[in-house]
């Protein structure tokens, strides 16, 4: 029985030796290729739990794109629209359901997903492997890999791409421990898996919670459960489109998530889809070019740098054009891992198409936050369950 894996290094290259081990039984994880480090394992084990719970709860293939122990994106296999395919550089690809989930997860925040760790809920097929092979990524974890898919992935990064196989039947012990500065913390593992029955306490005047919003609330809560706190998540069409992670202020989480969601929608604006990139410009450079194109202010050096990607100088979108496009957005779900202490997050969310909110509740200002939702006609659910993750 394999009880230990020697790691490349710990949190940083100078932290070695490092290892992953179990004191009892066998490791539920196998290294099929490459050599992981500590951060790889932290991303792998957190992201695996996220996609496993999405799969269990929504019965759809799921994927996550992780960076520094938080999801840059997560999604289930909801079919992509033509504009979504084009914005994700997937218009010409044949996508299996699992590949569709990863296109969505990777497409949530393509800038942040550069060099990501990938988690997949189902057996990795050739369609998904081909998609992964063309992206800049550090590794992948999944319950199984088809033989052709594994062969494709083993060619990545000159044969050093990290591939981990997770025992899908593995259940962790109820109690978990963490050692910090020579001291050991112990707690009951967070075994609360968000389900549809958690969404019964609708506190706003608007009580209409469509099936689509229910699905997206579950995606938001499960994603938040494995995101560094404080965190706020925007979800649309079965995928995270903006994650505000690890901020000390709730409103800063909301602003970060909302700004990312705005960018996700603006990437599908016709003028953005038609940007005149030079033929030899790759996807990463295009992502950076689009990101720079959508910025409101730049230094002269920044302006000159991103313009090198284009055949001709593109005409920027005006504030009025951006606002007109975003004003057509609706049906977005906003989730929070803890209560909103003020109405400011609701006000910011209203400018980014949020129609439904899910949060634990429990603030002294719950009434004021609910009143703000009522002003905008939003539906808001209190779950009563905080989802902090550190």
Active-site residues: which are they? 67-68, 230, 390
**CA 247, CA 231: separation in Å to the nearest integer?**
7
User: 234 by DSSP, 3-state: which?
Assistant: strand
Contacts (Cβ under 8 Å, ≥6 apart) of 59 = none
Q: In terms of Cα–Cα distance, which of 138, 137, 80 is closest to 110?
A: 137
User: For residue 4, how many C-alpha atoms fall within 13 Å in the half-sphere facing its CB?
Assistant: 6
Bridge partner residues of 64 (DSSP): 74, 119
What is the number of alpha carbons within 13 Å of residue 348 lying toward its C-beta?
A: 21
Q: Which helix (H) or strand (E) holds 176?
A: strand 175-180
DSSP code string of 13-64? TTS-S-EEE-SSS--SEEEEES---HHHHHHHHHHHHHHHHHHHHH-S-EEE
Q: Measure the CA–CA gap between 64 and 41, rounded to whole angstroms.
A: 14
Residue 21 to residue 24: CA distance in whole angstroms? 9
């Amino acid at each position: 029985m394999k009880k230990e894996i020697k790691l490349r290094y710990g949190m940083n290259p100078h932290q070695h030796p490092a290892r992953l081990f179990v004191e009892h039984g066998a490791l539920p994880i196998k290294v099929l290729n490459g050599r992981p480090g500590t951060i790889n394992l932290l991303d792998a084990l957190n992201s695996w739990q996220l996609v496993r719970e999405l799969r269990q709860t929504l019965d759809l293939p799921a994927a996550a794109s992780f960076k520094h122990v938080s999801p840059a994106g997560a999604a289930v296999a909801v079919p992509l629209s033509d504009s979504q395919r084009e914005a994700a550089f997937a218009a010409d690809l044949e996508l299996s359901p699992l590949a569709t989930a990863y296109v969505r997860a990777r497409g949530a925040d393509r800038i942040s997903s550069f060099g990501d760790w990938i988690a997949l809920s189902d057996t990795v097929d050739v369609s998904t492997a081909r998609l992964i092979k063309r992206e800049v990524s550090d590794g992948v974890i999944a319950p199984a890999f088809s033989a052709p898919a594994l062969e494709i992935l083993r060619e990545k990064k000159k044969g050093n791409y990290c591939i981990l196989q997770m025992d899908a039947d593995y259940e962790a012990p109820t109690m978990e421990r963490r050692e910090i500065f020579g001291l050991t913390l112990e707690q009951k593992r967070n075994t609360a898996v968000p389900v549809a029955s958690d969404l019964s306490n609708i506190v706003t005047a608007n009580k209409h919670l469509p099936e689509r919003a229910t699905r997206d609330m579950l995606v938001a809560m499960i994603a938040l459960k494995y995101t560094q706190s404080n965190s706020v998540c925007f979800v649309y069409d079965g995928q995270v489109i903006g994650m505000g992670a690890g901020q000390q202020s709730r409103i800063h989480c909301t602003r970060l998530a909302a700004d990312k969601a705005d960018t996700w929608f603006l990437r599908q604006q016709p003028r953005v889809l038609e940007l005149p990139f030079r033929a030899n410009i790759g996807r990463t450079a295009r992502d950076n070019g689009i990101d720079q194109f959508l910025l409101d202010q730049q230094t002269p050096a920044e302006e000159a740098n991103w313009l090198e990607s284009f055949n001709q100088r593109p005409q920027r979108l005006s504030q009025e054009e951006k606002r007109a496009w975003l004003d057509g957005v609706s049906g977005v779900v906003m989730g929070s891992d803890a209560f909103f202490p003020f109405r400011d997050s609701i006000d910011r969310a209203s400018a980014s198409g949020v129609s439904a909110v899910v949060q634990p509740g429990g603030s002294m200002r719950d009434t004021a936050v609910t009143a703000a939702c009522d002003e905008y006609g939003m539906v808001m659910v209190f779950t009563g369950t905080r989802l902090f993750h550190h």
